[in-house]
Amino acid sequence: MALKKLVISGSRGLFLLILFVVSSAIVVSLYNYYQYSQGLMNFEVRKLDRLFDGDYNFSEVAKKLLNTRGDIAFVKLIDESGTLQESYGNNRTGAFEEVTVKAPGDKLVKIGLSRTIDREQQIYTSLWSILIGIVFGSIFLMIFIKFSSDRSVHLERLISAMKKVSFDDFSSRLDIDRTLKDDVIMIRLFDSYNQMINRLKRHGKEVIEEEPEPFKPRVVTSAEDTKDRRVTAFVAKISNFDSLSNNLDTVEFSNFLTEYRKTASSIISDYNGTIEALLQGEIVALFNVPDEQDNPELRAVSAAVGVIQILANMNRQKRFEGKEIIGGMVGLAMKKFQLPTESGIPQDVKQVISEARTTCDNAGLWKILVPEEMYENIRNHVEAKKIEGERGLFYSIISVEEGIIKI
């Protein structure tokens, strides 16, 4: 039954897509046909305007037009007071439009001009309009199919990897490569899967099936329900993101951004960080959530050092090519939350992210900045320089003890 509903839903979606593309093609065709017809009408009016400009004999020009142009029904001369002076032809019924052109002496010439294009032009215009509509519709369809097929491929990769996990195979990882482009949802899915694999590898197969204990009513105090959790927020920024996007070639900039996000996300994941957002030149991550971790502050600092090293490596090639270098900086912040004993992410996590973003803005180029409270938890394993700022005391991380965090 579920499969039948899925097939029906997919067929309905395909029908709606085809209907939309056909409708778009028709709209574009009609619009192009109207524009062409209107343009042709304006062109004819300009030609007629030139006939009645300067010295001319009105009766001769009018008779010549009526004899040689089957698309003209009548020609009338109106003086400056609006009185009809001369009129040739007749107001026969038909698809014509009365157009007005100026004549010397503030006089006007009114001409009944047929709006019907000759058959050859009509066929040409219709075919050209339909062709344009089909081209636009096809382009949209190809873009939609490409987007859908790309995401389908990524989902199939995720499903295949999850099937392996169900058979106790923890060897597969999902690479966050450039094929994901700016698909934040898929990047976060891949990142979450990789974190799950890391956790399973660490803990091994420790799942033991036990008979459930008989239910024993008891009173649970709030102290037993929650515990303190130090959540660390990580914000890495490219300081000259706008300048790079304007000065680099579009393809080159896109390749750089994809490679940077892929590598940085992989490093953060290796240290058990959770990617929270990818915002243009900014990467936001959280540590010690949703699962509790040991030394979350050191994990965040180690990931920050890795991200800065990525940018430094990228800049070596850019200096060699004489191109604009990439400026990077990282800010961290820590906040204690009352969380349930079961893993979870606090509701007001935006507050600690905001603090990390502010710290990052004050970090300066190529700096990793941490607040004083956070530094106290890592001081025995890092080398840092004290910095006094308007918002208090900060420490700029110079180095981290090698091997302090096992990945």
Closest C-alpha among 76, 64, 72 to residue 103: 76
CA 77 – CA 71 distance, rounded (Å)? 18
Q: How confident is the model at residue 61 (pLDDT cuts 50, 70, 90)?
A: confident
Q: Which amino acid is at 2?
A: A
Cα distances (angstroms) measured from residue 265 to each of 178, 211, 388: 12, 40, 31
Q: How many Å apart are CA 388 and CA 153, to the nearest integer?
A: 50
Q: What are the backbone angles phi and psi of residue 271, rounded to the nearest 5°?
A: -95, 15
Whether residue 31 contacts residue 140, with contact meaning beta carbons closer than 8 Å, is answered with no
Please give the average per-residue pLDDT across 356-366, as a whole number.
92
Structural domains in the chain plus CATH codes: 6-119 (no CATH), 222-400 (3.30.70.1230)
Instruction: Measure the CA dihedral 120/126/128/130, to 10°.
Output: -160
CB 268 within 8 A of CB 278: no
| Cross-strand bridge partners of residue 97 | 113
Strand order in 107-114's β-sheet? Answer: 84-89, 72-78, 107-114, 96-103
pLDDT at residue 105, rounded to an integer: 75
In the chain, count of helices (H) and strands (E)?
10, 11
Name which residue leads in pLDDT, 94 or 324. 324
Length of the chain: 407
pLDDT confidence bin for 7, thresholds 50/70/90? very low
Using CA atoms, how far apart are residues 382 and 176, in angstroms rounded to an integer? Answer: 30
pLDDT reading at 48 higher than 90: no
CB 356 within 8 A of CB 235: yes
Q: Is 52 helix (H, G, I), strand (E, B) or coil?
A: coil
* pLDDT surpassing 80 at residue 376: yes
Helix ranges, 337-371 (H): 350-361
Q: What are the tokens at 259?
A: 């490679």
Residues 284, 277 contacting (CB under 8 angstroms)? yes
Region 149-158 average pLDDT: 70
Q: What is the pLDDT of residue 3?
A: 37
Q: Coil, helix or strand for 252?
A: helix
Bridge partner residues of 368 (DSSP): 330
Beta carbons within 8 Å of 248's beta carbon, 6+ residues apart: 256, 323, 324
Q: How far is residue 192's CA from residue 184's CA, in Å, rounded to a whole number?
A: 12
Structure confidence by residue, pLDDT tens digits, 319-348: 888 888 899 999 999 998 887 655 556 777
Strand-pair category, 107-114 with 96-103: antiparallel
Residue 325 burial by CB count (10 A; 0-12/13-18/19+): exposed, middle or buried?
Answer: middle
Question: Position of tokens 């062709």?
Answer: 131
Structure tokens at 332: 């961290």
Q: Is the pLDDT at 138 greater than 70, yes or no?
A: no
Q: How confident is the model at residue 6 (pLDDT cuts 50, 70, 90)?
A: very low
Q: Tell me, what's the pLDDT at 380?
A: 94
Q: Which residue has the higher pLDDT, 252 or 187?
A: 252
Phi, psi at 84, each rounded to 5°: -70, 125
Q: What is the pTM of this model?
A: 0.50
pLDDT on residue 51 = 75
Residues 267-286 have pLDDT tens digits of 999 999 999 998 888 999 99
pLDDT, tens digit (0-9, with 9 covering 90-100), for 170-198? 666 777 766 666 677 778 777 777 777 77
* CA-CA-CA-CA torsion sign (118, 124, 127, 132): negative
- Which position has the higher pLDDT, 168 or 357? 357
Residue 201 contacts residue 193 (beta carbons within 8 Å): no
Is 126 exposed, middle or buried, given 0-12, 13-18 or 19+ CB atoms closer than 10 A?
middle
**Three-state SS at 59:** helix
**Maximum C-alpha span of the chain:** 113
Single-letter amino acid code for the residue at 135: V
Q: Which residue has the higher pLDDT, 37 or 263?
A: 263
User: How many Cβ atoms are within 10 Å of 405's Cβ, its own excluded?
Assistant: 20
Q: How far apart are CA 399 and CA 407, in angstroms?
A: 18
Query: What is the rounded distance in angstroms from the CA atom of residue 206 to the CA atom of residue 168?
Result: 12
